[in-house]
């Protein structure tokens, strides 16, 4: 059966993504302003501490050489104090600034962590998960488990990087560089121009790095996604791998995917290893200019040594440190854009199946189901259900027989609106299912899939999954109907037994009986049973259907089945081929007509009871 294509990348340009990321950050503007406010205080304290250091050097030089007092030294220091008292005052101020900076740095780190990890990441991950719950089966058919998990975990973290490692760091860098440039220009405009002459080269390098690395990082995400998918499949299929002795091949397959990620990351790291040293080299050139030209200015008394050259050197060093952050910011920009594109693909995915604005609310249904000229096809694929017409009265049981790919499961999936038909209508109690409240619709439908999924929780909680407020008495009654009560009570913890992942500690038949109990507990108007006895032996099947006869009574039931013992219990049977109904009638009626139903019946290995159903003598299966 064909499936829709995987979710394509958005066509949004980087500008659109950046605007959306700014919009995301705007939600947390108050906390972001608090973080920036702390950083501004830290910047002020850093410059203040550096200034006092320069003043101290000039004061010591004045005391040793008796050089003339220059600059703001007389205004900042009590010149009539003993020299040691003045130096102690300067040392105390520098120490005080350092202590305050240490405290604020701690507060800054905590605030950033609260902003991005405890607020943004949690909120965004929850938003993505909420959207996943709204998307139809079509989305999950088109995208692998590894892809979805990577987007919810790693890509959300990449979006977080835009706030703390791009936006906040960029604002801090701009403010810091502006402050440093103005302060340096106030000390010596000519020296400032000379030392910053290499800055334009830096922006050219940044643009080159950005264009080069972004497609490589996008490809890296694809490779990581593939590796996660291989890992997930290897864990889920470990029994098959070991059963066929393919452990070595599995290791080789994962190693190949892992090495592909490694090789691609090497290319990214190679570009980064070129970019970062190049930025560092440019900043060292600035320091060479400072020592040469700045030293000449000091020697000719055009610039003070402490409050001039030393402070300028400190400012230039901090300026260079901020410039060196450009490499990290550019790298973070690329990662955040790639991650944002993939996260927004989920958030922007259309919700194909949802309640109408004026949805009809019904807490209880009678259970009449009608298919009117229903067809369904995946996007751009051949129809898997074609012109289907079927009427089922309340309380009737209809069995569905057909080969793999005949459209049986799709037909069942259309009733609870896992998909919407591409043509025609499905009516419940005379109302188009698309007009009914989706919540009301699904709460009135009990489901048992061919492969039952159980959660890592207690047995009681799994049975009560669709009805969390059910009492223990209700849970046990449902388990008895599904012939599960006896094996549950035989377990050491009974209904409080905690199941492992997917209920792997239970047999296939036990898992299926819990799934049937889960469906029965809802007391729905409609039951959908997708080959529920496929993993159950004949004796257990007999026990279950004897119990289910009571549960089915008064409920509209659809059963996908292949065993005659199951099919004969239905009020009527439909046989599907290539998405169409090719036969319909009761078991007895279809056994009298040549066609696929009789052909399937004759091919089955039947026991003595089935032979009697076929009306045969002597045990020979003939039409």
Q: Is residue 476 part of a domain?
A: yes
Tell whether 487 and 536 lie within a shared domain: no
The CATH number assigned to the domain holding 404 equals: 3.40.50.300
Distance, in Å, from the CA atom of 510 to the CA atom of 57, rounded to the nearest integer, reads: 83
CA–CA separation, 487 and 513 (whole Å):
10
CA distance 410 to 558: 12
17 with 336: CB under 8 angstroms? no
Residues with Cβ within 8 Å of 385's Cβ and at least 6 positions away in sequence, in order, are 374, 375, 376, 407, 410, 411, 414, 421, 579
Residue 391 has pLDDT above 90, yes or no: yes
- Structure confidence by residue, pLDDT tens digits, 155-172: 888 888 888 888 888 888
State phi, psi for 488 to the nearest 5 degrees: -65, -45
**Is residue 7 one of the residues assigned to a domain?**
no
Give 396 or 530, the one with higher predicted confidence. Answer: 396
122 and 46, same domain (yes or no): yes
**Is 332 found in the same domain as 466?**
no
Structure tokens belonging to residue 340: 């944002």
Strands 423-428 and 385-392: unpaired
User: Considering the domain boundaries, does residue 20 fall inside one?
Assistant: no
- Residue 512 near residue 452 (C-beta atoms within 8 A): yes
Percentage of the chain surpassing pLDDT 90? 9
pLDDT tens-digit profile of 446-473?
888 777 788 888 889 989 988 888 899 9
The span from the CA of 354 to the CA of 420, in Å, is 10
Sequence-separated (6 or more) residues with CB below 8 Å from residue 539 = none
Q: Provide the pLDDT for residue 85.
A: 81
- State what percent of residues in the chain have pLDDT above 70: 87
The whole-number pLDDT of residue 432 equals: 92
Phi and psi torsions of 228, nearest 5°? -65, -40
Using the 3D structure, point to which of 502, 523, 544 is the last residue of a domain: 523
pLDDT for res 9: 44
pLDDT one-digit tens code per residue, 113-143: 888 777 888 888 888 889 888 887 778 877 8
Burial class from Cβ neighbours inside 10 Å (0-12, 13-18, 19+) for residue 477 reads middle
- Clarify whether residues 88 and 138 are in a common domain: yes
Express each pLDDT in 281-290 by its tens digit: 777 787 788 8
Number of domains in the chain: 3
Q: Which residues span the domain enclosing 502?
A: 452-523
Tell me how far the alpha carbon of residue 169 is from its chain's centroid: 26
CB 166 within 8 A of CB 332: yes
Flag whether pLDDT at 571 surpasses 60: yes
Confidence class of residue 428 from pLDDT cuts 50, 70 and 90? very high
Nearest Cα neighbor of 524 from 355, 366, 392, 359 is: 366
pLDDT top residue among 615 and 567: 567
**pLDDT-derived band at 556, boundaries 50, 70, 90:** very high
Residue 352 maps to a domain: no
DSSP state of 224: H
Q: Which of 60-69, 396-405, 550-559 has the least mean pLDDT? A: 60-69
Q: In the chain, what's the furthest Cα-to-Cα distance?
A: 129
CB 136 within 8 A of CB 418: yes
Whether residues 517 and 533 fall in one domain: no
Residues 210 and 163 grouped into a single domain: yes
How is residue 423 annotated by DSSP?
E
Calpha distance 386→377 (Å, rounded): 9
Token pair in block for residue 564? 């005659």
Same-domain status, 430 and 343:
no
Distance, in Å, from the CA atom of 173 to the CA atom of 336, rounded to the nearest integer, reads 18
Tell me, yes or no, whether 494 and 566 share the same domain: no
Q: Does residue 591 share a domain with residue 469? A: no
Q: Which among 523, 544, 560 is the end of a domain?
A: 523
Q: Name the average pLDDT for the chain.
A: 80
Nearest 10 degrees: Cα torsion 433, 434, 437, 443 = 40
Helices 311-347 + 29-65 axis angle, to 10: 170
pLDDT in the model for residue 415: 92
* Residue 509 domain flag: yes
DSSP state, residue 591: T
> pLDDT tens digits for 196-243?
877 777 777 776 776 777 677 777 777 887 888 788 778 767 767 776
pLDDT for 613:
54
- In this predicted structure, the answer to whether residue 146 has a pLDDT above a threshold of 60 is yes
- Cβ contact 282:198 at 8 Å: yes
User: Do 529 and 561 share a structural domain?
Assistant: yes
- The angle formed by the CA atoms of residues 557, 466 and 484, to the nearest 5 degrees, is 70
Q: Of 557 and 3, which is predicted with more confidence?
A: 557
> Could you tell me if residue 577 is inside a domain?
yes
At 327-384, the pLDDT tens digits run: 677 777 877 888 888 888 888 888 888 888 888 888 888 889 999 999 998 876 788 8
- In this structure, is residue 475 part of a structural domain? yes
Q: What is the pLDDT of residue 350?
A: 84
Q: How confident is the model at residue 112 (pLDDT cuts 50, 70, 90)?
A: confident
Write down which residue in 523, 544, 568 finishes a domain: 523
* Sheet of strand 445-448, all strands in order from the earlier edge strand to the far edge: 445-448, 526-530, 556-560, 397-402, 572-577, 580-585
Please give the DSSP secondary-structure letter assigned to residue 361.
P
d(Cα 52, Cα 406) in Å, to the nearest integer? Answer: 84
Clarify whether residues 532 and 472 are in a common domain.
no
Q: What is the DSSP letter of 401?
A: E
Is the pLDDT at 538 greater than 90, yes or no? no
pLDDT confidence of residue 582: 92
pLDDT digits 0-9 by tens, 182-193: 888 888 888 888
Give the sign of the dihedral formed by CA 394, CA 395, CA 396, CA 400: positive
Least confident of 10-14, 209-213, 266-270, 378-382: 10-14
Question: Does the residue 10 lie in any domain?
Answer: no
> Do the Cβ atoms of 180 and 312 come closer than 8 Å?
no
pLDDT in tens, 292-304: 888 888 888 787 7
Quote the tokens at residue 148.
Answer: 């979805």
**Share in percent of the chain as helix, strand, coil (round to 5):** 65, 10, 25
Number of helical H runs and strand E runs in the chain: 26, 10
Q: Are residues 81 and 110 both part of a single domain? A: yes
Write the CATH number for 161: 1.20.1560.10
The answer to whether 364 and 554 are in contact (CB under 8 A) is no
Shortest CA distance to 298 belongs to which of 423, 211, 191? 191
pLDDT for position 583: 92
Question: Is residue 607 pLDDT above 60, yes or no?
Answer: no
| pLDDT one-digit tens code per residue, 484-493 | 888 899 888 8
Identify the burial level of 252 via C-beta atoms within 10 angstroms of its C-beta, where 0-12 means exposed, 13-18 middle and 19 or more buried. Answer: exposed
Tens digit of each residue's pLDDT (9 = 90 or more) over 586-597: 988 998 888 888
């Amino acid at each position: 059966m064909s499936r829709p294509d995987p979710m394509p990348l958005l066509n949004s340009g980087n500008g659109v993504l950046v605007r959306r990321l700014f919009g995301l950050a705007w939600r947390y503007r108050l906390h972001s302003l608090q973080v920036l406010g702390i950083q501004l205080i830290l910047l002020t304290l850093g410059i203040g501490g550096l200034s006092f250091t320069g003043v101290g050097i000039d004061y010591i030089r004045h005391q040793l050489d008796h050089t003339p007092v220059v600059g703001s030294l007389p205004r900042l220091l009590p010149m009539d104090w003993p020299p040691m008292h003045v130096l102690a005052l300067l040392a105390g101020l520098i120490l005080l600034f350092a202590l305050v900076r240490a405290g604020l740095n701690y507060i800054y780190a905590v605030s950033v962590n609260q902003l991005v990890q405890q607020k943004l990441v949690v909120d965004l991950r929850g938003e993505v998960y909420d959207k996943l719950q709204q998307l139809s089966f079509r989305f999950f058919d088109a995208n692998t488990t590894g892809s979805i998990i990577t987007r919810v975990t790693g890509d959300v973290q990449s979006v977080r990087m835009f706030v703390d490692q791009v936006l906040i760091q960029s604002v801090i860098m701009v403010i810091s560089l502006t402050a440093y440039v103005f302060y340096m220009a106030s000390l010596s405009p000519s020296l400032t121009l000379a030392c910053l002459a290499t800055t334009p080269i830096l922006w050219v390098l940044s643009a080159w790095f950005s264009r080069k690395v972004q497609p490589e990082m996008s490809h890296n995400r694809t490779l990581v996604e593939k590796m996660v998918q291989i890992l997930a499949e290897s864990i889920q299929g470990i029994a098959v791998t070991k059963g066929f002795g393919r452990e070595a091949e599995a290791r080789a397959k994962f190693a190949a995917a892992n090495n592909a990620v490694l090789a691609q990351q090497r290319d990214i790291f190679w570009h980064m290893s070129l970019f970062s040293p190049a930025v560092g080299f440019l900043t060292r050139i600035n320091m060479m200019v400072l020592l040469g030209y700045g030293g000449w200015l000091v020697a000719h008394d055009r610039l003070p040594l402490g409050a001039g050259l030393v402070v300028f050197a400190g400012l230039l060093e901090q300026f260079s440190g901020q410039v060196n952050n450009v490499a990290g910011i550019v790298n973070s920009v690329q990662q955040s854009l790639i991650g944002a594109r993939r996260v927004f693909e989920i958030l922007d995915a259309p919700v194909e199946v949802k309640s109408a604005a004026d949805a009809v609310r019904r807490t209880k249904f009678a259970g009449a189901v009608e298919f009117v000229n229903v067809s369904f096809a995946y996007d751009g694929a051949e129809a898997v259900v074609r012109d289907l017409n079927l009427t089922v009265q309340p309380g009737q049981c209809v069995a569905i027989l057909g080969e793999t790919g005949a459209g049986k499961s799709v037909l069942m999936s259309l009733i609870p609106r896992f998909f919407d038909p591409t043509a025609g209508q499905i009516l419940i109690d005379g109302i188009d299912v698309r007009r009914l409240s989706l919540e009301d619709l699904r709460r009135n439908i009990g489901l048992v899939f061919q492969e039952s999924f159980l959660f890592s929780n207690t047995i009681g909680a799994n049975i009560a999954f669709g009805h969390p407020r059910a009492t223990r008495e209700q849970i046990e009654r449902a388990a008895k109907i599904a012939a599960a009560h006896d094996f549950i009570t035989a377990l050491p913890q009974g209904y409080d037994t905690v199941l492992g992942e997917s209920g792997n500690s239970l047999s296939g038949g036990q898992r299926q009986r819990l799934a049937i109990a889960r469906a029965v507990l809802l007391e729905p108007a409609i039951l959908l049973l997708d080959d529920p006895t496929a993993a159950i032996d004949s004796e257990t099947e007999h026990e279950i259907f004897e119990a289910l006869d009571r549960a089915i009574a008064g409920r509209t039931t659809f059963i996908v089945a292949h065993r005659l013992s199951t099919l004969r219990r239905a009020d009527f049977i439909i046989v599907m081929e290539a998405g169409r109904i090719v036969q319909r009638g009761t078991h007895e009626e279809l056994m009298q007509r040549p066609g696929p139903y009789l052909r399937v019946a004759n091919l089955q290995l039947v026991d003595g009871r089935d032979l009697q159903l076929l009306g045969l003598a002597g045990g020979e299966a003939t039409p």
